Amino acid sequence: MADLILENLRKSFGSEEVIHGIDMSVSSGEFCVFVGPSGCGKSTLLRMIAGLEDITGGEVRIDGKTVNHIPAAQRGLAMVFQSYALYPHMSVRQNMSFGLENLRMTRPEIAGRVDEAARMLQIEALLERKPGQLSGGQRQRVAIGRAVVREPTIFLFDEPLSNLDAELRVTMRAEIADLHSRLGNTMIYVTHDQVEAMTMADKIAVLRDGIMEQFGAPLELFNLPQNRFVAGFIGSPSMNFLAGEVRAGQVALKNGAMLPLDGRFMVSEGQTIELGIRAGDLTLGSGQGVDVEISSVEQLGAESYLYCRSTLGEQITLHESGQTRARRGEKVSLRIDPDSMHLFDLQSGRSCRTG
């Protein structure tokens, strides 16, 4: 296990800077997820930690030691790639053993490590097969096993589940989380799927255009997003946003609704804002809220989603537990819970919440 510290980390390709001064501290044994849309820099950041990309500026420190100029093979890390990167002509056992053979380990020690990792990942029966004889999920287990046998200080995962179908991704998420619980190693995991991030992470780094927008525990990001981007990215379905302004000590939405303000928010008279409200904090019924027409309904049995459009054209999603009688084309009112609302400055996108 090891601590990981990134200090003012920067990366440029020619004159274009793609990682803009990222600071982050991951404690020993934590599971940290880098999440963000495609092209935000999360895989580049992971490769810089691994030593597969040169660092333009700043420092990567592992257990207090700066590793900027230490080759990837000497950093004590192990990486699991999206593409599995297995040797097709080698058996599963040979794939898992190969890196240890290069380290000049004895055959009994190699065999012991491989057998233990195979038992842990439930792939003992696959050890003599070739990668071409395995399913996608089995190949991913082998790729993870190849990392486990190295007994690294830090595991690095680069979108390891993106090639799997939805059901298998859920299964593998649970297996990786269980692996982390058993091994206790520091793990850094890259994904574009915020549901993966929320369900697996101790800490999440939300990235956009090479900038870290927020870093913290999953529920901290969900409950206290620091800006509109994080609010809209974290949580499924995405947060709803309604335009308005501060008027007479209240939030005046453009549709005419007035909502009370309290000491949670620091705003000024006339300030243009966006009100954010999650789908589960809306309810059907008249009162402080917004009039909408239902565009579509998803009935999932135990829960329902109403996809609506306001009279101003704003897209709004409502989540209800259980089943609903609402129907497409129906015009209804959605009540907003003022205690659950978020406010964001329209110009900067920053949260107006105090503290």
List of the chain residues with pLDDT < 50: none
Same-domain status, 94 and 151: yes
- 83 phi/psi in degrees, rounded to 5: -90, 5
Same-domain status, 228 and 244: no
Q: What is the DSSP string of 235-259?
A: SSSPPEEEEEEEETTEEEETTS-EE
The number of domains in the chain is 2
- What residue numbers bound the domain in which 308 lies? 237-345
23 located within any domain? yes
Which residue, of 216, 232, 248, is where some domain finishes? 232
Same-domain status, 215 and 262: no
Same-domain status, 160 and 44: yes
Residue 6: count other Cβ atoms within 10 Å of its Cβ. 22
Which residue, of 194, 210, 232, is where some domain finishes? 232
DSSP 72: G
352 located within any domain? no
Same-domain status, 148 and 45: yes
pLDDT of residue 288: 76
Residue 210: count other Cβ atoms within 10 Å of its Cβ. 22
351 located within any domain? no
Same-domain status, 72 and 217: yes
Same-domain status, 258 and 136: no
Same-domain status, 250 and 199: no
- pLDDT tens digits, one per residue of 188-224: 999 998 889 999 999 999 999 999 999 999 999 999 9
**One-letter amino acid identity for 320?**
E
- In the numeric block, the tokens 């027409």 are attached to 293
Which residue, of 206, 232, 258, is where some domain finishes? 232
Following CA atoms 54, 58, 60, 64 in sequence, which dihedral angle do they give, to the nearest 10 degrees?
Answer: 150
Contacts of 63 (CB under 8 A, 6+ apart): 2, 3, 153
d(CA 171, CA 339): 36
- Burial class of residue 302, CB neighbours in 10 A (0-12, 13-18, 19+): exposed
pLDDT of residue 166: 85
d(CA 27, CA 5): 8
Same-domain status, 269 and 200: no
Same-domain status, 272 and 127: no
Q: What is the DSSP string of 290-340?
A: EEEEEEEEEE-SSEEEEEEEETT--EEEEEEES-----TT-EEEEEE-GGG
Same-domain status, 137 and 247: no
The residue among 98, 215, 204, 202 whose CA lies nearest residue 146 is 98
pLDDT of residue 267: 94
Domain of 17: which CATH number? 3.40.50.300
Following CA atoms 75, 77, 83, 86 in sequence, which dihedral angle do they give, to the nearest 10 degrees?
Answer: 90
350 located within any domain? no
Contacts of 108 (CB under 8 A, 6+ apart): none
262 located within any domain? yes
Same-domain status, 223 and 264: no
Domain of 286: which CATH number? 2.40.50.140
- pLDDT tens digits, one per residue of 272-298: 999 999 999 999 987 778 999 999 999
pLDDT of residue 165: 86
